[in-house]
A and B are shown apart, each in its own frame.
Chain A
């Protein structure tokens, strides 16, 4: 059924992505590809993988933006994947019922056995989060790793999306955004988490945390030469190493 759940889902599982700490290493995207090419929507087909024009399905892509100019300007790494929107038009436009939003936790999924590959859902997603698999003729998208987060065969600490488990900078957090007491909701409240393109009204579940204001550094001490040197043996090592 491609009508949205009539009552808001009791839980809203989603991601909180910290644009302050993301280092743009693409590790989450790589681990996503690795896990999901064997997961719920497998495979994540690549075409011409070793040729001149490789192209393939990814659920998660890392962009880098420049914001502001001059001394105020900064570079922001920007991971982008499905935001599991509350008002997901990608679901309601689907003519077959292949796209659906789960009533229990709000996760948006595609059933690869009933999708006809009309691509309309990808047009309806403002965020470019759906990627068509030319080879299989069906639409693919982030599953929030439904096959990990509830997987009783995995150790408790691994029951998070692959991207979250791999991020070396702890820039990705997973949890229930419908529960104001959850760690992710608190993080959003503390750091002023925001929605992408709120004006389109899709009400994404995933939130982004803004880069922290740049720290104002105290002026560098002018008299560095006057610093007292280290005494004795340490002083000698320091002098040798600083040459």
Chain B
């Protein structure tokens, strides 16, 4: 599948934004961050910024952005529609939580209630995003049990890494909880991606040239003549294929930049406070986000679509 910049940016930015929102909501529920401006407020605004930038990027790349509101209508059947509904619904508690954090004199019960809603909204939206891909039967690389955990774990890993970077300088309990949360999510991401790639390297794809044409009874089927000499929409959209060698190198980059470097940077920073801790936290967050971008690029580039069986692909 063609790795389009807008979709990669959208899923990474909004994933990290919802991850950060979830991390802050969790800290607020435990009581490790309390209203009254400062870093928690900055974090909530950053989360809202990442989410909004992602949603805007995906909306502006529609053929008709001015009709985007129509996408809220088909939540009964469409995960894309559900994602739209969930993302807008999550704005309510997220913005409210940010508003509550502006002032110091807010009842704790209210903060906890709003934070729980924000956490649930963040998780639900990321699940909807993942389900858009998970539900596509023609794409074996996505239509499997690895897709939803993959999106949730990477959202959490990037979000908690950013949250750690935010609080690292304080050396507070909030920094500890965010940091340990990030290390747990990063380790899970390392294992999850390796399991996913093992699966990807062994699966056979949902269909074959023989079943796509129904000519398997005669024998092995291969394309003799394509319908036209130039590429068309389907070939451009579904026909992207990354070379095996490149994929191997990029997978290593994902593991190292996406998980190993940030986990170690955070582990080193946890005992520290001040400038050095902030530096290590920033390295962790930036590295995790870069790793997530490469991971998302591969998620598309390594995915094969059954439609290409009609254009000469020997497997799906």
CB of B63 within 8 Å of the partner chain? yes
A24 → chain B closest CB, angstroms: 8
Contact B63 A137 (CB under 8 A): yes
Within 8 A of B (CB), among A108-138: 114-120, 122-128, 130-132, 134, 136-138
A58 to B310 alpha-carbon distance, docked (Å): 15
CB of B107 within 8 Å of the partner chain? no
Stretch at the interface among B15-23, B65-73, B187-195, B243-251: B65-73
Within 8 A of B (CB), among A127-177: 127-128, 130-132, 134, 136-138
CB of B276 within 8 Å of the partner chain? no
**A130 contacts across to B, CB distance below 8 A:** 234
A44 to B306 alpha-carbon distance, docked (Å): 24
A62 → chain B closest CB, angstroms: 5
CB of A42 within 8 Å of the partner chain? no
Interface string of B229-258 (1 = CB under 8 A from A): 011111001100000000000000000000
A53 to B220 alpha-carbon distance, docked (Å): 32
CB-CB under 8 A for A123 and B214, given A93-B78, A95-B81: no
Contact B63 A116 (CB under 8 A): yes
Stretch at the interface among B30-38, B109-117, B133-141, B165-173: B133-141
Stretch at the interface among B93-101, B204-212, B282-290: B204-212
Stretch at the interface among A8-16, A64-72, A218-226, A229-237: A64-72
**B65 contacts across to A, CB distance below 8 A:** 116
A206 to B139 alpha-carbon distance, docked (Å): 22
Cβ contact of B224, chosen from A75, A80, A137, cutoff 8 A? A75
Contact A65 B213 (CB under 8 A): yes
**B137 contacts across to A, CB distance below 8 A:** 89, 124, 126, 200-202
CB of B215 within 8 Å of the partner chain? yes
**A134 contacts across to B, CB distance below 8 A:** 233
Number of residues in A with C-beta < 8 Å to the partner? 72
Cβ contact of B62, chosen from A117, A122, A136, cutoff 8 A? A117
Contact B233 A122 (CB under 8 A): yes
A24 to B225 alpha-carbon distance, docked (Å): 10
A183 to B267 alpha-carbon distance, docked (Å): 73
CB-CB under 8 A for A61 and B228, given A89-B137, A197-B207: yes
CB of B218 within 8 Å of the partner chain? yes
A123 to B305 alpha-carbon distance, docked (Å): 8
**B67 contacts across to A, CB distance below 8 A:** 96, 114-116
B147 → chain A closest CB, angstroms: 14
Which chain A residue lies CB-closest to B303? A123
A119 to B310 alpha-carbon distance, docked (Å): 19
**A185 contacts across to B, CB distance below 8 A:** none
Contact B222 A93 (CB under 8 A): no
Within 8 A of B (CB), among A179-223: 194-202, 208, 210-211
Q: List 17 A-B contacts (CB under 8 A).
A: A2-B76, A56-B232, A58-B232, A61-B227, A62-B227, A65-B224, A89-B135, A93-B80, A95-B71, A96-B70, A118-B63, A125-B307, A128-B308, A196-B211, A199-B206, A202-B137, A210-B214
For the A-B complex with A24-B225, A136-B63 known, give 6 more contacts whose Cβ atoms are closer than 8 Å: A3-B77, A61-B227, A63-B311, A94-B77, A97-B74, A126-B307
